[in-house]
Amino acid sequence: MSQPQITDSHCHLDFPDFDAERDAVVARAVAAGVTRMVTICTKLRTEPQVRAIAEQYPQVFYAAGTHPMSAASEPLARVEDLTALAAHPKFVGIGETGLDYHYTAESAAIQQDSLRIHIEAARRTGLPLIIHARAADDDIARILTDEHRAEAFTCVMHCFSSGAALAEAALDLGFYLSMPGIAAFPKSTELRAIFAAAPVERILVETDAPYLAPPPFRGKRNEPAYTVHTARVGAELFNMDYADFAAQTQANFDRLFTKAAAYRVAA
């Protein structure tokens, strides 16, 4: 019996951590059942390198945006630039964008401007918005809710590790929560409870590689193959067999990342 297929909905394969063995990293992921990966561009000037990785590997898709921690140091993205990227067949999402007040609270205003630009690009392209949120729950919830009321868009809360109120706000808008390796850390009891209270139809899994490796690799470089370890914890939370949970997250990913799903079918 073949092993269940699963998707790493968020990783950073262009980071130098993978330069020496990118082929092997992708091969290990595929061997583990991770048949799709979305690699994320965090600075638009590096988009050509990220795109090239997606073009090199059949299993890899990509998204691009300006990370909130870089919003003040990088040129402000333009809606037109982001929408133009969507012409590429493997470009499947807008971001990551969002708000991060943990290290970069002083740039809150420009982060919010950047976020709204990315939201408009998500609307125009029909591609999902990929949100990074840290130490900014109230502002994220307010902006996403206000903007969605003005004109709808789809969205995933990437590497979700915020509070229950933000999870509820996101789910109320029809958004998805992506489960990172943090959810598998022994002390992440509250975070696991937030995921367990969410509809399983709105759960994705990710690594955010090279960061936040789940046990038994915690403290080491993360990689897409380790998606499986986080997903096994997810299966336990929802009292599901791993194969059933993997299939559910695949269906969820296809529903949100429609362009990736269509590409897989057409390939």
Instruction: Work out the pLDDT band at 264, boundaries 50, 70, 90.
Output: low
Give the percent of the chain with pLDDT over 70.
98
Q: How much is the CA Rg of the chain, to the nearest whole Å?
A: 17
Render 218-262 in DSSP notation, one character per residue.
TTS---GGGHHHHHHHHHHHTT--HHHHHHHHHHHHHHHSHHHHH
* The pLDDT of residue 2: 77
| 153-199 confidence digits (pLDDT tens) | 999 999 999 999 999 999 999 999 999 999 999 999 999 999 999 99
Q: How far is CA 15 from CA 2, 179, 265, in A?
A: 31, 21, 29
pTM tops 0.95, yes or no:
yes
Q: How far is CA 154 from CA 73, 176, 214, 255, in A?
A: 27, 9, 27, 10
* The pLDDT of residue 267: 45
* The pLDDT of residue 150: 98
Question: Helix, strand, coil: what percent of the chain each, to 5?
Answer: 50, 15, 30
pLDDT, mean over the chain: 97
> What domains appear along the chain, each with residue ranges and CATH number?
6-266 (3.20.20.140)
